[in-house]
Amino acid sequence: MQFEQSNLFKAVQTQGIFSDSKQFADAIPKTSWQQACALYDQESPQDLAAFVARHFEFAPQPELATLSATSVKDYINQLWGRLERAPQTGNASSLLDLPASYTVPGGRFNEIYYWDSYFTALGLLDAGHTEQVSNMLDNFVSLITRIGHVPNGNRSYYTSRSQPPVTALMVSLLWQTHHQDQAWLSKVTDALQKEHAFWMADSEKLNDELTESRRVVRMPCGGVMNRFWDDSAEPRPESYKEDIEAASMLEPEHRAVFYRNIRAACESGWDFSSRWLDDPAQLCSINTVQRIPVDLNALLQQLEWQLSECYAALGDSQQSAHYLNLVQQRKRLIQAYLWDKEQGWFMDYHIALQTRSQVMSLAGVVPMFLSLASQFQAEAMVQRLEQGFLRAGGLVTTLTDTAQQWDSPNGWAPLQWFAVKGMLNYGYSKLAISVARRWLVMLERDFEQRGCLLEKYNVVEPGVRAGGGEYMVQQGFGWTNGVTSRLYQLLEE
């Protein structure tokens, strides 16, 4: 039995002892969680909060608001040290061991997050912290070797899912300085191959009768594309009470499907968004596993391309050709199923309905970021970005205004970077610079008010705090710092 399945854990979470469910999921037992759970079952304590206080402690959150920074740039540079954590072994809590030091996002997030790390790495490199970026990649390799994939974060309760695969992007950041090191090359190639196998697991089982299994889906043409998934269909430990309450609106037989879809949305990194909702006004209509996401499939094409490059550098032309063939196959599938000529945009695909989604989101710029779009497609997309997504503070996440945090009116740093870099790839520097300037001006004005950077921003009404989500807006913030640093560098160039 795992801690999250114990009577103690369920009692603490359902009774709302903590305002944030994640706090107890991250609790550190003073002896062992097994002993604490056994004592709870024996004693059935009346004062649950006192019992928890006797048997658990909690990692302190470093105070980020006490920095003496007078500018955004100064704040970012001062914060890197505060967001760094030493490698740890023998953890008694839900924290998974990592062999090298690591950088956390900030706020309630005191562990690594998979796709956050790439955007954070951009800023670390700008600040000269190349060794820390190398450590990030070493930690990813370690997790892939032990678990078979990089989990959502280095917590035991995150291991049933991953996040958008960015290990290949991390390899590309370090390629120039590391690729002639054969030991490094062999290590990262093996990790990338294992990660690819994780995403493609069960693909050999697909046929006319079995068209979906875990993260793979057989398309009408017979090709295989990917979706987000989670191997568990239970309430998330870190949001236990919230999931139970949300599922209570559904019939009992539908709750497991709901939990899986909630978890799959967490694997997407977009938790939550109208991208995954059949009814944008109802979270209980979430149907993540019935979408073929454009960003995921573009990133997997990049993973396949990076594997081809790695094997070529290792002198294995056969394996290099194999993965290059996969690149071409996936590129054709992305063009066939995800490009919407009428909308001039790459869209998600609804599996059951066999049609493209109607939700236009910034996930559609990832093919531009990875240079998968044609020049004609890029031209149409830039027009759509300028006329549809551009707002006072940068680019809005979707064109759908909902209560979810990955929708309008919010903007997120990683999506600004995908779009700005994507436009630069195709020569649209004027709009790219305009987006960067809008984002930086908004951040600077917000920083003057708050003295910190945040996880997300309201880009429609800059200065109004971003809403949505299951928790308060978090300070820090790793990927905001990283992307903002890179955008400053872009304007200086």
Q: Catalytic residues, which ones? A: 271, 455
Length of the chain, in residues: 493
Rounded to whole angstroms, the Cα distance separating 491 from 433 reads 7
Rounded to whole angstroms, the Cα distance separating 15 from 306 reads 48
Please report, for residues 32, 432, 448, 458, 462, the alpha-carbon distance to residue 445 in angstroms, rounded to integers and kept in the order given. Answer: 47, 20, 5, 13, 9
Instruction: Give the DSSP per-residue string, 348-360.
Output: -EETTTTEE-S--
The three-state DSSP-derived secondary structure of 421-478 is HHHHHCCCHHHHHHHHHHHHHHHHHHHHHHCCEECCEECCCCCCCCCCCCCCCCEECH
Residue 217's beta-bridge partner residues? 212, 225
Rounded to whole angstroms, the Cα distance separating 54 from 37 reads 12
Please report, for residues 75, 186, 196, 198, 304, the alpha-carbon distance to residue 190 in angstroms, rounded to integers and kept in the order given. Answer: 38, 6, 10, 12, 13
Rounded to whole angstroms, the Cα distance separating 391 from 267 reads 28
**Any idea which residue has 């670390």 for tokens?**
124
Q: In the chain, what's the furthest Cα-to-Cα distance?
A: 69
**Number of neighbouring beta carbons within 10 Å of residue 380:** 17
- The half-sphere exposure of 137 on its side-chain side, counting CA atoms within 13 A, is 24
66: exposed, middle or buried (C-beta count within 10 Å: 0-12, 13-18, 19+)? exposed
Please report, for residues 6, 33, 240, 336, 424, the alpha-carbon distance to residue 20 in angstroms, rounded to integers and kept in the order given. Answer: 19, 20, 10, 43, 41
CA angle 287, 106, 402 (to 5 degrees): 35
Q: Do residues 119 and 478 lie in contact, with contact meaning Cβ atoms separated by under 8 Å?
A: yes
**Number of neighbouring beta carbons within 10 Å of residue 490:** 18
